[in-house]
């Protein structure tokens, strides 16, 4: 018998194994879970953005039929505030950290801050009883703007944070950059706002807690992208109980986009209340609570200067950013506008002098933390906007300016001088060329010119991006380096059962990314077993090895590689068992396509199923070998990965109304090798949609009193189908040298690239009106004002 | 309490409910049909769309008592005899879902759309689904999924629309 070549699973557009239950209503999302005796919690939230709580009277609520208990922050002082797990470059930079408690104590600092908790027999009763809680507030002055919050006389949120400053962080070479800008032929300067966004996973967040008094063990079902991390933070930091006393399960998670990475107060108060009351407690946010309390994203105000020569060489970049972090510090908030922003500020360009200074700021607003892209969309928006601004200033085609300044293929690994790990690989011009070809750039420019003569305003916008994925080597990102409070490796266990079926358990977990499918594709190919024979288990701290979870486009590059390495170990052991079975020298055994055979004699072999049976029953194994094919890997990547690409947007602006029509959207992305093109394209589509949404529609707005004016989906403009075009996608493939799969990551790329492609197009369309910059979103009103010289 | 008599997915139910009970809560909490989801509190997201007497309805905007005497179809009732509805098949084939939370409502809304317009343009699909929000897909593949279903329901060959039929490699080679 000879080894028959199998159809490779990697690279194939296999439709997802996750889907059958989701398309038939069989999903198991948090709110679908019902436990015997389960109670329902509702939260009374502050209507004030900043106030002292002078009195809380819960007696009327407690007397309401069906109400089991009402708690306030004072009741929960036996648990600690939520932890901050990432301080900006801790050790080098002072971080003035204030994290939220399960419920506020004494003072509320933003609208939506939780004041009291009602636990009742059903959710209607719990909500009714909120109206029966009497709270007296003494309002305090409010500040919502990050820059204003640092000015003298601004309202102060926390005693340990003078001028509301969380940290002041910087990177790059200040003196060299100051010199480059002072001596430049051309300097362009802007104040660029990256507006606050609300991530809006379609499923809101929540938690269900159960406590078993006999064993003192908790179980928590929660909408989390990182259940092992939640277990660690809640036990070791919030409750002070042994880690094994809590099991955390993420059921089907209805989208995350970063908002579901973090440790939230509802995890703590459901656990606390379940223990106190001896019954399971469920809390699920409604949408307006999600908007008021769960984390927001972006919210930067940046002063930026870009220097260059008249012939298009960029010589310097100076960035000063105020990053609004909200009223408290969310789990990893300080790392987002620092490590994941400042360190990649120069993007795809060789800029000899760059410096970035970031001030993290408290304001009376909801917490800000990672939202899809997390720092990198802000960085890419900034540099891509400024490159276009520079191109317009010197009268050069923006594609040409990009070409002149790209990091070249021979420059990799490339050190950008901003304290980042070296970019792994890239060919930026190839992606740009492909995108320009696909969109028909030269023709479009002619069309644009002709249209202008007819009074029509077409704009073409480019965005060439690079991002940081596959986060991250622990020694770099961790406490000795960037200040992340632990490691950032990922785990995988692979077992081949007696029947030859393969079970993978992983610390990564999907919430839409299709990891069950892609991970099975990796195992099928590497182990040479049918794709259908591989099961991927995840999302439950019981039964999976500790892992850091899914975010930062890390699951293929880090989680996938952990699986790859466990499979390699399985193959090594299988070869030794096969040698024993065949009475051959292990060094002479080859493993291919699911069979181990003697080199040069492919008919002398054993299938993986035969080897697995031998390994499982343990009747005859090599001297000293343990039974079973079971291997675990904790994979710590040697570097991050750096996907890149070029996106092109084509818009037409109606000069009478200011309305922007997005006519075409072309994206060329390079995420290294592609495991499942169907899934990668889907990730890119969704990412692009979120970036377009930022450019054209979405903005979280607080008024000067700290009221969230965009507090529901009625006011916050998440785009519907008719507000977006179809996307034209292509890719280049530059494998990553960082991991054996050659993958880079695709989850965030679309969002990182797209907002600036659209804004550059809008501003290009408005060039005849003298418009040089326009803040997002480019709503009809904003565009009309720009046309008419009002900002 | 009020009495509600409904037929859901072909099965008759008689229930006592509080008059204020929303239809979506009735389906989810009383009948344990949790495939119908809740994504907002202002009737924007459409995750809760079901068919009431054949028409798509946001079940968060309707009281259970208003559905008295009605025939209701939820996502759980769409597949017949173990055979996926063409819309379900289309969403699977065309990668029309990622997290899957909006999917039941999206499919039920698309069902109504195709009843009214069996041969829609892409633009008509997009406008027909404007009451339903998806945060994962950017709608690109949802439009393809609905077109797949429409073609299949018209009895056309859909083999060229199956998984992988239109991934970006195809675009880049000009196919």
Give the torsion sign (CA, B114, B115, B119, B121): negative
Contact B101 A18 (CB under 8 A): no
Residues of B in contact with A678 (CB under 8 A): 95, 163-164, 167
Would you say residue A2 has pLDDT above 60? no
CA-CA distance, B17 to B2, in Å (whole number)? Answer: 5
What pTM, to 2 d.p., does this model score? 0.97
Judged by CB atoms within 8 Å, which residues 270-289 of A form the interface with B?
286-288
CB atoms within 10 A of CB A151: 11
For residue A216, give Cα distances in angstroms to A210, A241, A272, A278.
10, 10, 12, 11
CA-based nearest residue in chain B for residue A515: B98
Average pLDDT, chain A: 97
The pLDDT value recorded for residue A335 is 98
Please tell me the distance from the alpha carbon of residue A197 to that of residue A755, in angstroms, as a whole number: 12
Distance CA A215, CA A203 (A): 32
Query: Chain B closest CA to A661's CA: distance in Å?
Result: 14
> CB under 8 Å to B48, separation ≥6 — which residues?
B24, B36, B37, B38, B39, B58, B59, B60, B105
Percentage of chain A beyond pLDDT 70 is 99
CB neighbourhood size of A375 (10 A) = 28
Yes or no, beta carbons of A720 and B129 under 8 Å apart? yes
What would the two tokens of residue A167 be? 């940290």
Residues of B in contact with A31 (CB under 8 A): 28, 34, 37-38
Angle at A321 between CA A316 and CA A326, to 5 degrees: 160
Helix (H) or strand (E) segment spanning residue A444 = helix A441-453
Q: In the prediction, which pLDDT does B161 show? A: 86
CA gap A261, A488 in Å, rounded:
14
**Chain A residues close to B139, C-beta within 8 Å:** 689, 720-721, 724
| Chain A contact set for B34 (CB, 8 A) | 25, 27, 29, 31-32
pLDDT tens profile A138-188? 999 999 999 999 999 999 999 999 999 999 999 999 999 999 999 999 999
Distance from C-alpha of A544 to C-alpha of A550, rounded to nearest angstrom: 14
- Please check whether residue A607 is in contact with residue A574, taking contact to mean a CB–CB distance below 8 angstroms: no
- Nearest Cα to Cα of residue A15 among B71, B2, B144: B144
How many Å apart are CA A504 and CA A494, to the nearest integer?
A: 5
Q: Is the pLDDT of residue A1 over 90?
A: no
Q: Give the one of A13, A23, A727 whose C-beta lies nearest to B91's C-beta.
A: A23
* CA distance, residue A285 to nearest chain B CA (Å): 10
Residue B172 clears pLDDT 50, i.e. is over it: no
Does domain A19-25+489-635 match CATH 3.30.365.10? yes
From the CA of B69, how many Å to the nearest CA of chain A? 24
Cβ–Cβ below 8 Å for A685 and B140: yes
Write the DSSP string, B129-140: TTT---SSSTTH
Distance from CA of B41 to the nearest CA of A (A): 6
The shortest CB-CB distance from B99 to any of A512, A685, A729 is to A512
Query: Per the structure block, which two tokens stand in for A44?
Result: 């009374």
What per-residue confidence (pLDDT) applies to B40? 97
Buried b (16+ CB within 10 A) or exposed e, A593-627: bbbbbbeeeeebbbbbbbbbbbbbeeeebeeeeee
DSSP state of B163: T
Confidence (pLDDT) at A6? 59
Report pLDDT for A790: 77
Which stretch of DSSP H or E encloses residue A661?
A: strand A660-670
Q: Over range A602-623, report the average pLDDT.
A: 96
Kindly report the length of chain B.
Answer: 175
Show residues of chain A in contact with B135, CB under 8 Å.
200-202, 255, 257, 686, 690, 718
Chains A, B: CB pairs < 8 Å? 215
Task: Determine contact: A751 vs chain B, CB below 8 A.
Answer: no
Question: What is the mean pLDDT of the segment spanning A190-216?
Answer: 98
- So what's the ipTM on this one? 0.97
Q: Are A522 and A675 in contact (CB under 8 A)?
A: yes
Residue B174 has pLDDT above 60, yes or no: no
Quick count: other Cβ atoms within 10 Å of Cβ A129? Answer: 26
Extents of the domains making up chain A = 19-25+489-635, 39-139+203-254+260-293, 172-183+192-197+295-472+639-787
Q: Do A25 and B74 touch (CB under 8 A)?
A: yes
CB contact under 8 A, B126 and A722: yes
- A16 in contact with B at a CB cutoff of 8 Å? yes
Query: A39-139+203-254+260-293 architecture in CATH?
Result: Alpha-Beta Complex (3.90)
A624 is written with which tokens?
């000293």
Query: Would you call A727 and B140 a contact, using CB atoms and an 8 Å cutoff?
Result: yes
> What own/partner pairs with CB < 8 Å and gap ≥ 24 does A444-448 have?
A444/A650, A445/A397
Domains and CATH numbers, chain B: 2-77 (3.10.20.30), 86-165 (1.10.150.120)
Beta pairing class for B71-73 and B2-8: parallel
- Residue bearing tokens 């989208």: A255
Residues 326-355 of A with CB under 8 A from B: none
With a CB-CB cutoff of 8 Å, which residues 122-141 of chain A face chain B? 124
**Same topology for domains A19-25+489-635 and A172-183+192-197+295-472+639-787, yes or no?**
yes
pLDDT tens digits along B149-166? 999 999 999 988 887 655
Give the minimum alpha-carbon distance from A149 to chain B in angstroms, rounded to a whole number: 32
What mean pLDDT do residues A734-739 have? 97
Helix (H) or strand (E) holding A169: strand A165-172
Which conformational region is residue A395 in: left (phi greater than 0), alpha (psi within -120 to 50 degrees), or beta? left
Q: Is the pLDDT of residue A766 over 50?
A: yes
pLDDT at B170 over 50: no
Q: Which residue of B has its CA nearest to A199?
A: B135
Q: Which pLDDT tens digit goes with each residue over B70-81?
A: 999 999 999 999
State residue A91's pLDDT score. 77
Q: Report the top-level CATH class of A172-183+192-197+295-472+639-787.
A: alpha beta
Type and span of the H or E element at A754? helix A749-765
Rounded average pLDDT over B4-24: 98
Q: Which residue has the tokens 């079971």?
A: A630
Mean pLDDT confidence for A501-521? 97
pLDDT value, residue B175 = 27
pLDDT band at A791 (very low <50, low <70, confident <90, very high): low
Q: Which of B37, B79, B139 sits opposite A29 (nearest CB)?
A: B37
Query: How close B42 gets to chain A, by Cα (Å)?
Result: 7
Residue A514 has pLDDT above 90, yes or no: yes
For chain B, say whether A66 makes contact (Cβ under 8 Å): no
List the single residue in A19, A31, A718 with the smallest CB-CB distance to B97.
A19
């266990």: which residue's tokens?
A: A493
Residue B93 has pLDDT above 80, yes or no: yes
């Amino acid at each position: 018998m000879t080894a028959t070549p199998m159809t490779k699973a990697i690279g194939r557009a296999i439709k997802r194994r996750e889907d059958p239950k989701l398309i038939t209503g069989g999903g198991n999302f948090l709110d679908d879970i019902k436990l015997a005796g389960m109670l329902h919690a509702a939260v009374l939230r502050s209507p004030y953005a900043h106030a002292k709580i002078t009195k809380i009277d819960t007696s009327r609520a407690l007397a309401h039929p069906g109400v089991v208990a009402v708690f306030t922050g004072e009741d929960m002082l036996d648990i600690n505030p939520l932890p901050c797990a990432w301080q900006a470059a801790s050790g080098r930079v002072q971080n003035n950290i204030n994290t939220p408690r399960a419920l506020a104590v004494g003072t509320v600092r933003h609208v939506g801050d939780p004041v009291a908790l009602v636990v009742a027999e059903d959710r209607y009763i719990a909500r009714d009883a909120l109206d029966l809680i009497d709270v007296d507030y003494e309002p305090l002055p409010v500040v919502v703007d990050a820059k204003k919050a640092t000015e003298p006389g601004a309202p102060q949120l926390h005693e340990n944070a003078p001028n509301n400053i969380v940290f002041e962080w910087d990177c790059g070479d200040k003196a060299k950059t100051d010199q480059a800008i002072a001596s430049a032929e051309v300097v362009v300067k802007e104040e660029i706002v990256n507006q606050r966004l609300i991530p809006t996973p379609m499923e809101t967040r929540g938690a269900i807690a159960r406590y078993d008094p006999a064993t003192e063990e908790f179980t928590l079902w929660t909408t989390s992208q990182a259940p092992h991390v939640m277990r660690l933070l809640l036990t070791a930091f919030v409750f002070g109980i042994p880690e094994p006393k809590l099991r955390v399960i993420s059921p089907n998670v209805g989208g995350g986009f970063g908002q579901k990475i973090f440790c939230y107060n509802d995890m703590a108060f459901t656990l606390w209340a379940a223990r106190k009351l001896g019954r399971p407690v469920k809390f699920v946010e409604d949408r307006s609570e999600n908007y008021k309390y769960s984390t927001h994203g972006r919210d930067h105000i940046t002063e930026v200067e870009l220097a260059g020569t008249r012939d298009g060489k960029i010589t310097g970049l100076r960035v000063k950013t105020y990053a609004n972090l909200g009223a408290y510090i969310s789990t990893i908030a300080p790392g987002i506008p620092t490590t994941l922003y400042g360190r990649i500020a120069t993007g795809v360009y060789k800029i000899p002098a760059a410096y970035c200074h970031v001030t993290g700021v408290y304001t009376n607003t909801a917490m800000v933390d990672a939202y899809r892209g997390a720092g990198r969309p802000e960085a890419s928006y900034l540099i891509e906007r400024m490159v276009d601004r520079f191109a317009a200033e010197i009268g050069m085609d923006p594609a040409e300016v990009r070409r002149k300044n790209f990091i070249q293929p021979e420059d990799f690994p490339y050190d950008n001088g901003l304290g980042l790990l070296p970019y792994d690989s890239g060919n930026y011009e190839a992606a740009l060329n492909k995108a320009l070809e696909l969109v028909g750039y030269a023709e479009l420019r002619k069309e644009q010119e002709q249209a202008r003569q007819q009074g029509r305003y077409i704009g073409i916008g480019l965005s060439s991006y690079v991002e940081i994925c596959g986060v991250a080597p622990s020694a770099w990102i961790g406490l000795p380096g960037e200040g992340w409070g632990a490691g950032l490796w990922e785990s995988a266990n692979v077992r081949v059962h007696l029947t030859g079926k393969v079970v993978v358990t992983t610390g990564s977990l999907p919430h839409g990314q299709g990891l069950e499918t892609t991970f099975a594709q990796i195992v099928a190919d590497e182990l040479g077993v049918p794709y259908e024979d591989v099961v991927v288990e995840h999302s439950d701290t019981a039964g999976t090895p500790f892992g850091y979870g899914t975010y930062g486009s890390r699951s293929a590059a880090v989680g996938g590689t952990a699986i790859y390495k466990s499979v390699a170990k399985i193959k090594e052991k299988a070869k030794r068992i096969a040698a024993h079975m065949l009475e051959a020298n292990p060094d002479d055994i080859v493993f291919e396509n699911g069979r181990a055979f003697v080199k040069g004699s492919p008919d002398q072999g054993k299938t993986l199923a035969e080897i697995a049976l031998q390994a499982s029953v343990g009747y005859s194994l090599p001297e000293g070998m343990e039974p079973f094919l079971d291997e675990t890997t904790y994979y710590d990547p040697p570097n991050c990965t750096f996907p890149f690409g070029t996106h092109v947007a084509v818009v037409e602006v109606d000069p009478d109304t200011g309305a922007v029509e997005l006519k075409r959207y072309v994206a060329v992305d390079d995420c290294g090798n592609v495991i499942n093109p169907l899934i990668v394209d889907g990730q890119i589509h969704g990412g692009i949609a979120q970036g377009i949404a930022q450019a054209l529609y979405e903005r979280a707005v607080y008024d000067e009193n700290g009221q969230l004016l965009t507090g529901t989906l009625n006011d916050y403009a998440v785009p519907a189908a008719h507000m977006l075009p179809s996307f034209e996608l292509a890719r280049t493939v530059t494998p990553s040298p960082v991991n054996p799969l050659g993958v880079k990551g695709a989850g965030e790329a679309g969002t990182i690239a797209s907002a600036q492609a659209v804004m550059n197009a809008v501003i290009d369309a408005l060039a005849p009106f003298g418009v040089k910059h326009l803040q997002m979103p480019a709503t009809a009103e904003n565009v009309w004002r720009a046309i008419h010289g009002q900002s | 309490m009020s009495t509600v008599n409904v037929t859901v997915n072909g099965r008759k139910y008689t229930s006592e409910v509080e008059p204020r009970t929303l239809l979506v809560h009735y389906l989810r909490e009383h009948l344990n049909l949790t495939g119908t989801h809740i994504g907002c509190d202002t009737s924007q997201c459409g995750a809760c769309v079901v068919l009431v007497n054949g028409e798509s309805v946001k079940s968060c905007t309707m009281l259970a008592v208003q559905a008295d005497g009605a025939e209701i179809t939820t996502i759980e009732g769409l597949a017949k005899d173990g055979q996926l509805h063409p819309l379900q098949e289309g969403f699977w084939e065309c990668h029309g879902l990622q997290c899957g939370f909006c999917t039941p409502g999206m499919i039920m809304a698309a069902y109504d759309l195709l009843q009214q317009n069996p041969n829609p343009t892409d633009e008509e699909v997009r406008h027909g689904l404007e009451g339903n929000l998806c945060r994962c897909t950017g709608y690109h593949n949802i439009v393809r999924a609905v077109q797949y279903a429409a073609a299949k329901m018209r009895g056309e060959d859909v083999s060229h629309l199956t998984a992988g039929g239109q991934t970006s490699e195809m675009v880049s080679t000009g196919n």
